[in-house]
Structures are given as C-alpha cells and as structure tokens.
Amino acid sequence: MKNLRKLHYVRNLFLIVFACIMAGCADDLKNPIPTVEINPGFATSGYAKISAVSQNESDTYKAVYSRQYGISRDLTMLLTVSEEALSAFNAANGTTYKMLPAEYYTMPASVKFDVKSKNADFEVVVKSKQLYKSAGSVQNASQYALPIRAIAEKSEGVDEDESANTVILHIDMAAATVTTTVPSAPVNLFFVEESTAKETKTMEANLNFTGIDASAISLTVDKNASLLSDPQYKLLPEANYSLGQVKLDGTKKLAADIEFNAKNLTEEFIYVLPCYFKSSTVDYAVAQNEPVYYLLNITGVQVSIEDAVDEEGEFVLKGAYSLSTPVKGAVTVSANSVLPEELTINMVYDPSLIAAYNATEKTNYKTLPSADLIKITNGKINAGSKGVDIAYEIDITGLKLSDFYLVPLVLVKEDMEVGEVIGSEVIYLEVAKSLVGTYDLTVITNERTRNVTNRIFHAKDCRRAIEWENVLDKAQYGFGGDGEWYAVLFSVTDEDMPGQANCKKIEIYTFLEALKAYGGSNDVKDNKSYYNMETGEIYIDCYVYESWLDKDLKATYSFKLPK
C-alpha cells in the first residue's frame, strides 16, 4: 500500500512538470525570441575631418564603419551623398559648408559586412591639388564637405539609425608648407686667420606634402637680422659665402649647401650669415620664424681628442677587447677649423697615469706587462682637413683572460707646430682579453628559459649590477637567460675540465636569479659547463633548480665564435 502511494505521487509530479514544460513551449510559440537587429554605424558619426594638403595629388581618409550586433549575417550598405544631411548640419551648427563636387573625390558605391565581420571600413580619396586649384585658395578649398549617408540594401532586420549612419566629412585643407629646420643655437664655424680653406654647411627643411618643384625654393640672406644689432657681430661679406641650389632630399625633405671661406676676415668680429628659405610661388608657404644663424669665428688652431670626456668633463673609457687577435682601434683628434697647413699629431702611451686614475676613480686596473705590446701609428691633420685618426694596436697574446688593463694615450702638444689642446690631453682605453661579443648560439636543451640571448657581456655591465653586487667581484661575464634582466653570470676558472682537451671549467653565480650561495633562491647542479681555449666555444651544461617552479630543469647552450 505504501509503495502504491509512492508511485501515485511520482506519477502526479511527472504530470505537473510535463504541464509546465508544455506551457513554456506554448509561450515561446506565442512570443518567439526576437531577431537581433544589425546596427551599423560610423565611428565618427556626425562629423569628421579629411586632412588634405593643397599640393598633394590626393589624400586618403579611412572611414571606420562597424557593427556590434547581427554579425552572423552579411549586410550590404549603399553609400549615398546626402545634400539634405549637409543642409541640416549647417543649420544646426551655424556653418556654411558647400557640397564637395563629385569630380574631386572617389569612394565606393557600397560596402559589405561579411558574415562574422564587425567592420566594413572604406576609403574616401580627395583630389586635393585639383580642388585647391579650382577653389583658388586654401581657405576656399576648406569650405567643402562630403555628406555621406549609408542606407541598407535590404532594410529588414537592420537598425538604420540615421544619425549613426550619417557623417559629414569636412575638407580640412592645409597649405603646402616648407618648414625650416632651425637649430636651437647658432651654427659656429672656425677658421684660422688667413686660411684659404673652405667649409660647407647644409640647411634643411621638412615638407608636409610630396611632389614639390624644388626650383621654386631658394636661400636668401636677412641683412637686417636682429643679431646684427650687437656690435660684436658683423654681416658676413658676400665674397665669403656661396648659396647653393635647393634640392629634394628624399620625398619630403629639402636641403641646400652653403659654402664658407675666411678670406680677408680678422679676429676683430664674429661674422654672421642669417639665412632663410623663400618661395617664389604662393603655392608653397615657408614656415620659418627666425633665421638660421651661421657664425664665422677667426681664431687660432685648437685641437681636441674626441670622446675623451663626457659632457660633465668625466673621463670616458674606450673599450678595447679581443679574445685572440690583437686589439685594434683608433683615436680621433680634431681641429676647430679646416687647417691651411698640415699639423703633426703624435700620441704616446703613459703608464705613469694609471695609479692616479685608480686612486681617483676607485678602480684597480692593471698595467700592461710591457710598453712594447702597444703600437701607435701617429699622423698629421692634412691641409684642408679638420681631423686625423691615430691608429693603435695592442698585443693581448700573453694577457690573462678577463684581467682589465688601463692604457692612457696622451696627445703630445709639444710636437704640434701651432695651436693648443682644448679639453683632455689624454684618453683612457680599457683593454681586456675578453669573451665579450656576439656569438652563434645553439640552444641544445632548454627546459625553462624562453629567450636566451647570443650576446656575451661583462658581468659588471649586467642590468642588475646593483642587486647582484656581491657576485660582481667573482663573475666575469654574462648572457641573457630569459632576456637580459634574467641573466646568467659566470666566470672561466683556471681548473681543467676533465675529458675535454684545452678546456677550463665555468663557474656560474646567477641563473635567472642569484644562486643560494650568493643570497638568491635558485641553484645550479651537475654543472659540466666549460670554455674551450682552442676554439673559443662557451658551453653551458647544467641543471637549474628553479625556485619559481620548485624543480630542476636542464639547460644546455653552445656559444661559438662567428665564422
């Protein structure tokens, strides 16, 4: 009896649920789920500008036209020009834009949204130069607008919101402009008195258009420039300069050479040449609020060592590194003027300066075992020239790998026939028999890192030098284990690598992070890394305990010298 009541209860419950389901279906039949309407519209509905330049043959505007809903269906929209829309816009905004004539633009007659596509962008091409010529001025050309209204080819299921599907494209016409590059300070030239030398400077300008007739632009001198009111300045005589022809440099840049000489000029004045670009046609505007000033200074001979010191006057170390071949390079010595006669430039190695440098800079550079390891090829600044490269060659064969040496090269001013040395008379070379360089990298096994780099750098130059300061007195080199921030710092030891002829063991101090022995969280196990002294190969082979993942991961890389 009890079971019978239970079956009766279950049957009634089933009938109730079935009745509810049928009632819901009936409601669906009476009120089916509505179809979502496609809602196309312009990203800049209402108003946008077409940027055009008067001398461009054409300018292109990309109209961004998109939809958010109904992407499961395709849709074709007809692009029409609506004078009614332009009139309404003018009335609402107090503007007087005129309809852009059809001969001055092109655009598609329609656009199509493909299935699953949210965009049906299109381009409007304005024939800028033709419009400008017809209008007669930039201002007149800027009175035109193109009113576009998009209409669905089939309106069923489309939300054709008029405001969203209408855009007024205003022609924002700009003048074709030559914009002079004006330096932040006057351009100084230095000549030795009675010099017959010549020097050339180039004046430049940028264009906001293409297709310029460069012959319509020329250089001119402003003989009433404001700088000339200062009594120390005097206008450069016409005999001392020659203005070159303006030429097109690339597609959107102009350049013109100016040749200078110092014939019959004296130290009494600083001679000024204030220059402008000018246009012979109203079609090209020149944007230049002040002249480019060229200052001719008559002076004695002054020479300097390039890149010996920085802007604050601090010595700059010039790196000179090699692994097996002699270190070769050059020091550039420059004069302040094109010289009328040759000038002797000699440099010498002076090891007596090393101790003072180490004391001042708190460094510990070593001195080369012998001055005979350095060969300097001295030279002359030739007449008509402004500089010379003094070549040097340093034999590193007997140097210990990764020891750093300081090589001071001193300019011997007593050997110069005339003139004085400006700035530092010495440049310091940092010399090392070093593995630093770019290698051919082969990643053999890589269970963790993603971006091993092929550049070996000095450990002291790593990006985390401050954070890893406690290993920099041990580590010699590094490379990026996962970009250069997550670096691997290592050194080549004096210990032979068992089973590998002519190879030395490599000790690792950081692998992505510092190792536990140096205050970090990672570790290196089963390290079989070595440096091959015969071939120059750096072979990294170890397991890395990765604290982030809490597991040991294999890493095997080969760095070989490029052929």
pLDDT, one tens digit per residue, over 211-239 is 999 999 999 999 999 999 999 999 999 99
Q: For 173-191, b where at least 16 C-beta lie within 10 A, e where not — what string?
A: bbbbbbbbebeeebeebbb
Listed residue (449, 556, 467, 481) closest to 518, CA to CA: 467
Residue of higher predicted confidence among 321 and 386:
386
Task: Give the containing element (helix H, strand E) for 295.
Answer: strand 292-299
**Of the candidates 404, 433, 462, which is a domain's last residue?**
433
Residue of higher predicted confidence among 387 and 10:
387
Give dist(CA 469, CA 185) in Å, integer: 43
Per-residue pLDDT at 434: 86
Query: Which residue, chain included where needed, has tokens 């180039």?
Result: 202
Q: Comparing 196-200, 278-282, 392-396, 401-405, which segment has the lowest mean pLDDT? A: 401-405
Verify that 471 and 544 share a domain, yes or no.
yes
Confidence bin at 333 (pLDDT 50/70/90): very high
- Average confidence score pLDDT of the chain: 91
Residue 309 included in any domain? no
Confidence bin at 477 (pLDDT 50/70/90): very high
Q: Is the pLDDT of residue 24 over 80?
A: no
Residue 131 is given by DSSP the state H
Confidence bin at 378 (pLDDT 50/70/90): very high
Residue pair 389/330 in contact (Cβ under 8 Å)? The answer is: yes
Verify that 503 and 529 share a domain, yes or no.
yes
Residue 11 included in any domain? no
Per-residue pLDDT at 320: 86
Q: Is the pLDDT of residue 18 over 70?
A: no
Verify that 168 and 184 share a domain, yes or no.
no
**Of the candidates 271, 299, 327, which is a domain's last residue?**
299
Q: pLDDT tens digits, residue range 379-411?
A: 999 998 899 999 999 999 888 877 899 999 999
- Domain around 164: 40-174
Residue 539 included in any domain? yes
How far apart, in Å, are the Cα atoms of 438 and each of 238, 441, 457, 558? 54, 9, 9, 12
Output the DSSP codes for 516-548. GGGT-SBEEES---EEETTT--EEEEEEEEETT
Verify that 101 and 65 share a domain, yes or no.
yes
- What are φ and ψ of residue 69, in 5° steps? -115, 160
Verify that 424 and 347 share a domain, yes or no.
yes
Verify that 266 and 160 share a domain, yes or no.
no
Verify that 474 and 393 share a domain, yes or no.
no
Give dist(CA 306, CA 301) in Å, integer: 16
Per-residue pLDDT at 345: 98
Residue of higher predicted confidence among 385 and 322:
385
**Coil, helix or strand at residue 111:** strand
* CATH number of domain containing 330: 2.60.40.1740
Q: Is the pLDDT of residue 318 over 70?
A: yes
**Of the candidates 396, 411, 433, which is a domain's last residue?**
433
Q: pLDDT tens digits, residue range 453-469?
A: 999 999 989 999 889 99
Residue pair 235/271 in contact (Cβ under 8 Å)? The answer is: yes
Residue 34 included in any domain? no
Predicted model pTM: 0.66
For the chain, how many structural domains are there in total? 4
Torsion 62-68-72-73 (CA) sign: negative
Per-residue pLDDT at 49: 97
Residue 20 included in any domain? no
The CB density around residue 93, as the number of other CB atoms within 10 Å, is: 12
Q: Name, of 25-39, 362-376, 445-459, 547-561, the range with top average pLDDT.
A: 362-376
Q: pLDDT tens digits, residue range 336-353?
A: 988 888 999 999 999 999
